Amino acid sequence: MVFTNLRDDIAAVMARDPAAKSRLEVLLCYPGIHARIFHRWANALWRRRWWTLARFVSHVGRMATGIEIHPGATLGRRLFVDHGMGVVIGETAEVGDDVTLYQGVTLGGTSLEKGKRHPTLGNGVIVGAGAKVLGPLMIGDGARIGSNAVVLNDVPACASVVGIPARAVKSKNPPVPDAFAAYANTPGEVADPVARALSELRDEVSRLRSRVAELECASDDHRRASEAAMRMERVEP
């Protein structure tokens, strides 16, 4: 089982990182792979209630990889932590299958309660560099979190969010099922909600100006027709 999971992890890297040249390179040189190995050891100890030893193994993994994963966190299969430095995954975080996290990502808690306080990520989620997902949120399957976004609310499946606080963005292109988007960046998306709102306002102003011009033209035609009719009435015997 251990080797099966490791093979799956390496295959996930090969599929999602064009810089990966060989499986041996991935095994030896990718800290995300090493962090997963440390987490599996630490999580096994945590589930046996060997709290301190589990935290120690996790701490060694953090020193070795720069990736901090609490031993209590639940990670799905084929998780790809790319680059990885500064990634933090909290104790009650749950991460689905085929998820991609980039450097500086935080899956953090916003409460001092002992219960569920970290986010749950569905399958196929992509979280861009520096993004923060805070609280017991639900991130739906296939969602994309833009770089440096701060997510404070649930995100629906297949949605893309950016900004502080994160808001949904529109895409000019229809979504492609199972398509991978590096750093959660999809060509054709309007990446800034403020810019999107300004663009929509600009379009609305253009439509209103066109309508006003049409009404003014119609009014001028009506005025000219009325003046012509009045002149005709004056010259008639």
| Omega before residue 165 within 30° of 0, cis | yes
Please state the domain extents for the chain: 2-191, 192-237
CA dihedral of 40, 45, 127, 179, whole degrees rounded to 10: 40
Burial tier of 188 (Cβ tally within 10 Å: 0-12, 13-18, 19+): exposed
| Residue in 125, 22, 111, 35 with CA at minimum distance from that of residue 71 | 35
Single out the residue of 142, 144, 141 nearest to residue 133, CA to CA.
Answer: 144
Amino acid 143: pLDDT: 92
Q: Write out the two tokens for 152.
A: 């404070």
Q: What is the pLDDT along the chain (237 residues), one digit of tens a residue?
A: 656 788 999 999 999 988 889 999 999 999 999 999 999 999 999 999 999 999 999 999 999 999 999 999 999 999 999 998 999 999 999 999 999 999 999 999 988 888 899 999 999 999 999 999 999 999 999 999 988 999 999 999 988 898 888 888 866 554 555 566 665 565 555 555 666 667 778 888 888 888 888 888 877 767 776 766 666 666 655
Overall CATH class of domain 2-191? mainly beta
The pLDDT score that the predictor gives to residue 233 is 65
Q: State pTM to two decimals.
A: 0.72
What pLDDT, on a 0 to 100 scale, did the predictor assign at position 188?
Answer: 54
| Per-residue pLDDT, 11 | 92
C-alpha to C-alpha distances, 96 to 71, 74, 138, 172, nearest whole angstrom: 16, 8, 11, 28
Backbone angles phi, psi at 81, to 5 degrees: -100, 100
What residues contact 62, with CB distance under 8 A and at least 6 apart? 68, 69
What string of DSSP letters covers the chain?
-HHHHHHHHHHHHHHH-TT---HHHHHHH-HHHHHHHHHHHHHHHHHTT-HHHHHHHHHHHHHHHS-EE-TT-EE-TT-EE-S-TT-EE-TT-EE-TT-EE-TT-EEE-----SS--S-EE-TT-EE-TT-EEESS-EE-TT-EE-TT-EE-S-B-TT-EEETTTTEE--BSSPPPTT---GGG--TTB---HHHHHHHHHHHHHHHHHHHHHHHHHHHHHHHHHHHHHHHHHHH--
